[in-house]
C-alpha cells in the first residue's frame, strides 16, 4: 500500500477510501486497452473498503462525461468523478438503471445469505442492452454469503459474458469459493492500510485529535 489517498469529487455519499491504488491502476489500464475484464474478484480482510472501491469504480465506469484514461489525476491515482455527472450521481444514489448491487436481504432471511433468486436476477440484468448506452455494472457484496447453488447459478454468465458488462465480486474468504468461480475472475488481492495511512485517515476523521495521534504514532513505532 502507498500513502496516497483515493478521493472523489462526487456527492457527499461517496466515501473517501485510502489505498487500493493497484486495483484502480488495473481498471484504468484494462479500460484504456479496450479489453476490460468482465469479472473482478476483490479479496482481502473484512472492512478494508473492497465494496466501497468497487462502487467508486462503478460510478466512474458509468459516468457520462468520463474520458478514457481519466481515472488518474496526473501521476496520482486519485479518482476524479464529476459531482454534476448524472451517471455517477445515479450510481452513488443506487438509482442507475445499469447498476446493480446485490447484498443479503434484510427481511425474511434467517440465514443471512444472498439467495439464489437474487443471483438468478443478475443474469437477465447483465444480458439486457444498457439503458443509458454505456456499461452494465454489478457488485456482489459478498461472495462469502453466496452458497454453492448461487455460485453455480452465475457460472454461465462468467463463462459467456455479454459485451459492455462488468461484475465486481467481493470476498474475504476466497479459499471457500468454487474453483470454477475463481478461475473465471481477475483476482485482485487487497490489504489492510499501512500504519501511516491509518494515522492519516484517523486524522481526517478527527482533525482535532491530530496532536494525540502524532504521539500515539511515535509511541507505536517506539514499542515495535
214 and 125 in a common domain:
no
Are residues 173 and 220 located together in one domain of the fold? Answer: no
Task: Identify whether residues 125 and 16 lie together within a single domain.
Answer: yes
For the chain, strand residue ranges (E) read 5-6, 17-18, 39-43, 99-102, 136-141, 165-171, 186-189
Residues 187 and 201 in one domain: no
pLDDT score of 216 more than 80: no
Domain co-membership, 103 together with 172: yes
Question: Same structural domain for residues 37 and 120?
Answer: yes
55 with 152, same domain?
yes
Dump pLDDT digits (tens) for 6-24.
334 434 545 555 677 788 8
Q: Note whether 131 and 99 are same-domain residues.
A: yes
- Regarding whether 9 and 93 lie in a shared domain, the answer is yes
Q: What is the mean pLDDT of the chain?
A: 80
189 and 199, same domain (yes or no):
no
Domain of residue 13 covers: 5-193
pLDDT at 43 over 70: yes
Number of domains comprising the chain? 2
Give the domain CATH number at 80: 3.40.50.300
Distance CA 168, CA 176 (A): 17
23 and 59 share a domain?
yes
Which tens digits make up the pLDDT trace of 103-124? 998 888 888 899 999 999 999 9
- 31 and 133, same domain (yes or no): yes
Give all strands of the β-sheet with 136-141 in edge-to-edge order: 99-102, 136-141, 165-171, 39-43, 186-189
The model's pLDDT over 68-114, given as tens digits with 9 standing for 90+, comes to 444 444 554 445 677 788 998 899 899 999 999 999 988 888 888 99
C-alpha cell at 60: 466512474
Q: How confident is the model at residue 155 (pLDDT cuts 50, 70, 90)?
A: very high
Amino acid at each position: 500500500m502507498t500513502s496516497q489517498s483515493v478521493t472523489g469529487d462526487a456527492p457527499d455519499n461517496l466515501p473517501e477510501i485510502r489505498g487500493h491504488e493497484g486495483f484502480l491502476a488495473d481498471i484504468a489500464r484494462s479500460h484504456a486497452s479496450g479489453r476490460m475484464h468482465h469479472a473482478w474478484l476483490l479479496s482481502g480482510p473484512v472492512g478494508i473498503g473492497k465494496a466501497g472501491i468497487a462502487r467508486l469504480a462503478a460510478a466512474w465506469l458509468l459516468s457520462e462525461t468520463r474520458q478514457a484514461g481519466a481515472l488518474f489525476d496526473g501521476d496520482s491515482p486519485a479518482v476524479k468523478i464529476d459531482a454534476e455527472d448524472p451517471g455517477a450521481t445515479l450510481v452513488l444514489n443506487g438509482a442507475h438503471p445499469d447498476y446493480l448491487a446485490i447484498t443479503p436481504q434484510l427481511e425474511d432471511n434467517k440465514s443471512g445469505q444472498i439467495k439464489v433468486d437474487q443471483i438468478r436476477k443478475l443474469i437477465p440484468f447483465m444480458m439486457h442492452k444498457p439503458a443509458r448506452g454505456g456499461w452494465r455494472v454489478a457488485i456482489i457484496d459478498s461472495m462469502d454469503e453466496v452458497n454453492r447453488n448461487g455460485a453455480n447459478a452465475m457460472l454461465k454468465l462468467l463463462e459467456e459474458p455479454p459485451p459492455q458488462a462488468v461484475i465486481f465480486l467481493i470476498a474475504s474468504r476466497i479459499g471457500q469459493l468454487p474453483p470454477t468461480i475463481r478461475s473465471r475472475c481477475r483476482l485482485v488481492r487487497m490489504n489492510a492500510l499501512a500504519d501511516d495511512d491509518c494515522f492519516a485517515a484517523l486524522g481526517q476523521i478527527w482533525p482535532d485529535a491530530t496532536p494525540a495521534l502524532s504521539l500515539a504514532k511515535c509511541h507505536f513505532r517506539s514499542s515495535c
